[in-house]
Structure 1
Amino acid sequence: MIERFEMKNFGVNRHIAWEKLAGINVLIGENGSGKTSVLKMLYAVLRSLELNKKGNDPYSLGRILPDKLYWTFQVNKLGELVKKGTESSLRCRMALDGKNIEFEFGSDTNLTIKSLKTDFEESWGNTTVFIPAKEVLSLFSVIIKSREQDKMFGFDDTYLDLVHALSIPPQRGRNSRVFAAGRKNMDRLLGGKAVYDEKNKQWYFKNKNTRFSMGVMSEGIKKLAIFDQLLANRYLSQQSIVFIDEPEASLHPKAISEFMEFLYDMAKNGMQIFLATHSYFVIKKLCLIARREQYSIPFLGLSKDETIPLQYEDMIHGMPDNSIVDESVRLYQDEVDAVLGGEI
């Protein structure tokens, strides 16, 4: 589990220091405030630690991390990740499972990170996955061709890594009690299962004895099906760390509520989850879960306006002040003004 992390001069943010992280952690902010970039940085570091001298692979973190950052952010040089207008270096520090990793590089950095310190001498030993806002099940062949054949920018490493994770066939035998219950809840929410046809290299959605092309299914169904497959093939474990960008995308508010309950069940049994969201329904449901269960859900509010301080809260104490609720209140006030104005 990530216990804390600090980022300086990264992207649009001058300084982020998020401590006392928990099973579910939530980031919000307007478009352009850096939510997705923060998730991607954390993912790139974790994935690099996962691949560090894994098995018989001799490649060390010093070689893996720059390559992972390059393909995750798809920049011409790593120095482009440094906050514009600063002469200071980008610095990243993370405490993970009682160990530390830290690195830094300046705006003139090409594809090599010279300043890297870590307590991880071997592979981290767990798995991490990034689930982007856009679904991938109907884009499998396109992603593989774009990245592995054409070696082109477009689909970053979060997409490619997810495709590889989903390609693992479902495992036979009894799943853990927690994941077995989670899959039952997910199957109920989905109303069926995602099935991969290895021969035709296509995903299908199966409801009882009827099979549908995944292309005709809704974006929301595809996103939920991703989680179901990662539980079925055991890629995810109770020690995994999952990043989800806009979990609300294409989901009905009722499905969002049930999905948050599912994520809470996964988190309380060991999995760590980071969410970046624009949804009132997501933060409201998580706030209710936190208060109901007396369960810590740390909250980070980012802003692209440097004059506004970052917001560090915990939903166990109630709904934090945030721009999503502020806009909901503003729209309600506009409606009241319109109604009263019409009567006058």
Structure 2
Amino acid sequence: MNQDPPLYSDMYFPNFYDIFRLNKITEIIRFGHLPGEAAKMDLTYADTKFEVIIDKDKPEIGNVGSVPGLPSLIYLPPQEFLSINEGFIAAYKNREMPYDKTYYDLALALNGLPLRNDKLAGIWEPLELLKKIITGGNTESKEVLTQKDGRFHFHLPEGDLDVSLVAEGYRKIATLYYLLRNGSLTKESILFWDEPEANLNPGLIVDMVKVLRMLASAGMQIFVATHDYLFSHELSLSAEYPSGNTADIRFFALHKQDRTAGVSVEYGQILPEIRHNPILEEFAAHYDRESEFFYKSGESL
């Protein structure tokens, strides 16, 4: 017997409270709104258009059609998660914890065992590159990361290491590797990654941009939030000079005129098309300060 597809409200509004740790739904309405005003979102997904209205404490959904099944969604936070994964699922279910539901979802995704190699079609190349990054170029090891009862262990050319003894940047990279390796992330998935550059050696940032480009070219949809000059400009170079890169890249910048104003969005196919770019603005200001110090020091000689 066929069941009707779930409505958008049934799938997502209960999660708003767990993801944003809300006491009431109106807490996600921006500051400065007038009494009686409602937050409204117009959305389109898979040829289905609907609006979301958040008014007082009750979310009301209008013009909603049936939403087809969504692909797997995974959110990766700025800080690494591997070292706190052990026991997290049970603790989240039974204890008060200062973590939102995205961490619980990530723990569930990491809980799966690795897939057979023949089940990794389409993502084998980025997996091999991730393995090279983790091992420093050595790919002879069959598995660079394993887990037992939720605790992870690295298997490196130098020897085996507990997750707590590995640098945080490599733990972040290994998280992506394991999610691909166990099938929680596939080429049909949607990945949200907040500040992938955090705690990464600059030399690793360029490699990670290559990995994300490869995954996007394979079909994965990826949303990245970054404040890093090198990371954002490496992506922009990929868009400006594709040279075989088939990933469709877009850049978005969020800014506010003042602290109570709504958020404005700019977008472009390359970074130079973004007018409000605080990353570039601050680097330009830094260069100006450096030049000023240089010329002042020359005058004093």
TM-score, length-scaled by structure 2: 0.85
Q: Look up the SS of the partner of 1:178 in the other structure.
A: coil
* Residue equivalent to 1:233: 182
How far 1:140 sits from its partner (Å)? 1.3
Q: Trace 1:1-344 onto structure 2 (pairs within 5 A).
A: 61-87=8-34, 88-106=37-55, 108-109=56-57, 112-121=58-67, 123-124=69-70, 126-141=71-86, 143-150=88-95, 152-191=96-135, 193-198=144-149, 201-208=150-157, 210-293=159-242, 296-306=248-258, 310-315=265-270, 318=272, 320-321=274-275, 322-344=277-299
* Residue equivalent to 1:14: none
**Contact 1:278–1:324 under 8 Å retained in 2:** yes
Separation in 2, partners of 1:97, 1:188: 37
Q: Look up the SS of the partner of 1:92 in the other structure.
A: strand
Bigger relative contact order, structure 1 or 2 (CA pairs below 8 A, ≥6 apart): 1
How far 1:229 sits from its partner (Å)? 0.8
- Relative distance call for 1:101 and 1:229 in structure 2 (3 A) is farther
CA RMSD of superposed structures (Å): 2.6
**Contact 2:7–2:64 under 8 Å retained in 1:** no
Q: Percent same amino acid at aligned positions?
A: 23
Q: Which letter maps to 1:113?
A: P
- Relative distance call for 1:164 and 1:116 in structure 2 (3 A) is farther
Q: Residue by residue, what CA displacement relative to the aligned partner does 1:177-233 show, whole Å, maximum 9, x if unpaired? A: 4311111011001117221112xx311111148221101111111111111111111
Separation in 2, partners of 1:282, 1:117: 40
Q: Which letter maps to 2:94?
A: Q
Separation in 2, partners of 1:305, 1:153: 35
Which shows bigger deviation, 158-167 or 206-215?
Answer: 206-215
How far 1:328 sits from its partner (Å)? 0.7
Separation in 2, partners of 1:62, 1:162: 22
Q: Which letter maps to 1:213?
A: D
Q: Look up the SS of the partner of 1:310 in the other structure.
A: strand
Q: Look up the SS of the partner of 2:59 in the other structure.
A: coil
Q: Residue by residue, what CA displacement relative to the aligned partner does 1:83-123 show, whole Å, maximum 9, x if unpaired? A: 122132122233233333432112x21xx423254333553
In terms of Rg, which structure is larger? Answer: 2
- Relative distance call for 1:260 and 1:121 in structure 2 (3 A) is closer
Separation in 2, partners of 1:117, 1:173: 44
Separation in 2, partners of 1:337, 1:327: 15
**Contact 2:72–2:185 under 8 Å retained in 1:** yes
Separation in 1, partners of 2:62, 2:153: 44
Gaps of 5+ in 2: 136-142
Q: Residue by residue, what CA displacement relative to the aligned partner does 1:12-49 show, whole Å, maximum 9, x if unpaired? A: xxxxxxxxxxxxxxxxxxxxxxxxxxxxxxxxxxxxxx
Q: Look up the SS of the partner of 1:113 in the other structure.
A: strand
Gaps of 5+ in 1: 1-54
* Residue equivalent to 1:29: none
- Relative distance call for 1:117 and 1:227 in structure 2 (3 A) is farther
Separation in 1, partners of 2:239, 2:280: 18
Separation in 1, partners of 2:128, 2:21: 38
* Residue equivalent to 2:138: none
Q: Look up the SS of the partner of 1:114 in the other structure.
A: strand
TM-score, length-scaled by structure 1: 0.75
Separation in 2, partners of 1:100, 1:210: 54
